[in-house]
Structure formats: structure tokens, C-alpha cells
Amino acid sequence: MTLQVELVSPERILWSGEADMVIARTIDGEIAFLSNHAPFIGALGIGRVQINLPDGGVVRAAVHGGFVEVSNNKVTVLSDVAELSGDIDVARAQEALRRAETSAQSDANAEELGAAKLRAELRIAIATAA
């Protein structure tokens, strides 16, 4: 039995289909969902979502906040901001990382800069994952 999965951002449905497993990073840590998982709702932080397909393929996305809900073999990822690995502009992410690292040395808003750095690092990691 497979899971029905939807990865949704405010702009559009990024991905929809069947999967064997979904892995997401909640604010409490990473969690994997398989068929017949107990109902679950969790808040997402800055992290990856990995969707393992029945044919052995993998869909990866960088997610920046939102929620994941699991019920009746359906996983819905409602993200504040999300990008599929193939949609990520690596050069832009590397520039964002450089700006965050440079600003961190002189700016007092360490929390916001830390989050910007984490988002950029995640985008680079997702886009370059094998």
C-alpha cells in the first residue's frame, strides 16, 4: 500500500502523487511516514522533505516552515515556502549564503541571519543531492 502525497506552497501544488515513504523535518526533529501511520500534525521548520517513490525515485524539496498532516494514508505538506530540487537556483542560493555569512560578522540581528544562512545551506544541499 502506498501513501497519497501532496506538497503545497501558497502559490501552487509543487508535487502530488503516490509514495512509499515521506521524510520531513519538524521543529521537533525528523520523522518518516509509511503506510498506515497514525494520524499526525506537526509544524515544519527549515528542512528537507524527501518523498520516496514506489519506482525507487526520490523527490526532494527545501521547505521553510509550514505544517505536515498525516491521516488515512495521505500526507499533506503545507509549506510557507518550498522549492523542489530541480527548481533551485544554486548560484542564487550560494550568493544568499555569502551575504548571510558576510552580514553575520557585522549585523546585530543574529537570529534572522542564522535563519537566512540555514535556508541557503538547505537549498544548496537539496539542489546538489545525488
Percentage of the chain lying above the pLDDT 90 cut: 74
**Rounded Cα gap, residues 65 and 43, in angstroms:** 7
**Rounded Cα gap, residues 11 and 3, in angstroms:** 23
Parse the chain into domains and list their residue ranges. Answer: 3-85, 88-128
Instruction: Identify the CATH assignment for 88-128 out of 1.20.1280, 3.40.449, 1.20.5, 1.10.10.
Output: 1.20.5
Q: What's this model's pTM, rounded to 2 decimal places?
A: 0.85
* Residues 65/78, Cβ–Cβ less than 8 Å: no
Greater pLDDT, 105 or 103: 103
Q: Mean per-residue pLDDT for 46-68?
A: 96
pLDDT-based confidence at 76, cuts 50/70/90? Answer: very high
pLDDT-based confidence at 104, cuts 50/70/90? Answer: low
pLDDT at 1 over 60: yes
Q: What is the DSSP string of 45-99?
A: EEEEEEEE-TTS-EEEEEEEEEEEEEETTEEEEEESSEEEGGG--HHHHHHHHHH
pLDDT-based confidence at 101, cuts 50/70/90? Answer: confident
Yes or no: is domain 3-85 CATH 2.60.15.10?
yes
Q: Mean per-residue pLDDT for 76-98?
A: 92
For the chain, report the end-to-end CA distance as a whole number of angstroms.
27
